[in-house]
Structures are given as C-alpha cells and as structure tokens.
Amino acid sequence: MTKPEKKDGTVGKALEILDLVAEVGRPVRFSELLVTSQHPKATLYRFLQTLTNQGMLSYDEEKQTYAMGLRLVRLAHSAWQNSSLAPVAADILDQLEKEIGETIHLAQMENGQVLFVDKRRSSVLFETLAQTGRVAPAHCTGVGKVILAYMSAERLERALRQQAFVPYTATTHRDRESLIKEFEEIRSAGFAFDREEHEQGIISIAAPILLNNGRVVGSISVATSTTRFTLKDLEAFKPALLNATQKIGDAATTWQFPSPS
C-alpha cells in the first residue's frame, strides 16, 4: 500500500509531523517525536526546523521542546470563521443549553471522521471524550451516524471506506453492513442514538443539520450518562433538538460550507 508521505510528498510529511506534535497534547522533546515518527533522525530534524521557521511550530530553547505555533492559531481561526458551523450556531446552541440543561455537541465531518466544532457542557457530573477541536470515528457516534445516514450515495460510499470499524465497546458496529442497516431507522426517526458505542456509560441523541436543499452539513447531539438517563428518556429532547438543527440549517443555507466527506 502506498504510504501517505510518499503520495503527498513534502507537504504530506510536514503535516504528518504537525499531527505528531499535536497528538502529544503538550510541549514535546525531539527524542519523544523520534520514537513515534516514521522519518529518520535527520529528516525529522530538518522538518521541525522548517516548521519552526515558518511559525507553524514554536521552539522553547530552555526546555528544548516543540509546541504548536501561533501561525497555526491564526489559520485555525480563519478556518473556524469560514468553514465551521460554530459561528452560525453559537446563539442557537446557547438557547438549546438553557432549554434542556444538558451537554451539547456540534459536529461536522471531515475525511470520514467527526470533528467537534463546539460544545456546551452543562453538567459536572460526567464528561465525554468529545472536546472542541477533537475528532472521533463516525461509525460509533450519534453525531457521526446521523450525518452518514443523510449523505448522498456517493459521499456515503467514500465515508464508509474511511471507517476502520474499531470495536470500542460491545455495542459498536463492527462492519459496514451492520451500520448501513441502521440508516433507514435513523432517517425514519429523524435522529440517531449513540448506544454506548464509543464510550461505555455515555449515550446521546443526535439530529442532522440540513441546508434548505437537503444537503447535510453537520449535526448536534445531546449527550449524557447512563446513570442519569436512559435512551427512552433522551427522546424527550427530540423537539428542542430538531428545532435547533432547523434554525442552524436555515442560517447556514446562505453560507458556503465544505461538503462532509
């Protein structure tokens, strides 16, 4: 199989190294990156120097560590403003949080994965893995499944090929046939459940965000723990959830968002 760094050349290698630094989640030393990198020592060092010179990474000479650079922050802010649903949805999410008083996730899809672009955390009694800026698998999250269910056939096929079907829990879909079978149920109900498929003890109800032409551009979920609610209990949030997704879809129709892929 062709490796991404060969296919994408120098740019692919640079982005791969940025991913390595980002995944650590803290300033990281060269020796730590060398352990996880596929590149030889000299190649890794050269790319780190270039990325630092370009402001994509910052280097602390005293601690000898690399961290994400301010140039990335500026680029991320631009992407958030121009490609994210977050600015359009912010006020609507605030209203939804006040109405239902539960944790809310706003998500979009990128390369077959769910990208969480905003969150409202209403309870200190539990926390989810989903955090703004993080990605998660689509095949085992409510926000991911509901986006997949409303995709066009072409986009869906591409997204399904990008699913690894990792079995995170006993209820995770293990293959595309099982997942596809649920789509008809999701479209009929207008929402999807996460039945502890990604995190044990965490459930959610999610609805799609559709533009006026029917194209799905994202989703919202209401997430909670099994110690507080059942799946049946979550259905009580459906009217408020659908009202919010409708409002965001209407507001987003005049924007030009990338198609989920």
* pLDDT (mean) for 194-215: 96
Counting residues of the chain whose pLDDT is more than 70, the rounded percentage is 88
Sheet with strand 28-29: strands edge to edge:
28-29, 65-68, 57-60
Phi, psi of 177 (to 5 degrees): -65, -45
pLDDT at 1: 35
More confident position, 4 or 120: 120
pLDDT at 109: 93
pLDDT at 12: 87
Instruction: Please list the residues that pair with 207 across neighbouring strands.
Output: 220
Residue 247 burial by CB count (10 A; 0-12/13-18/19+): exposed, middle or buried? middle
Helices (H), the chain: 4-24, 30-36, 41-53, 70-83, 86-100, 142-149, 153-161, 176-189, 231-234, 238-252
Q: What is the pLDDT of residues 132-152, one digit of tens each?
A: 778 899 999 999 999 999 999
Instruction: Please list the residues that pair with 202 across neighbouring strands.
Output: 225
Tokens of 238: 């459906």
pLDDT confidence bin for 84, thresholds 50/70/90? confident
Tokens of 43: 């190649």
Q: What is the pLDDT of residues 163-181, one digit of tens each?
A: 999 999 999 999 999 999 9
Distance CA 189, CA 196 (A): 19
- pLDDT above 70: residue 130: no
Domains observed in the chain: 4-74 (1.10.10.10), 84-252 (3.30.450.40)
From 5, 81, 79, 96, select the one nearest 47 (Cα to Cα): 5
pLDDT at 4: 39
Sheet with strand 216-225: strands edge to edge:
135-137, 113-120, 103-110, 216-225, 202-210, 192-195
Residues 146 and 222 sit within 8 Å (Cβ to Cβ): no
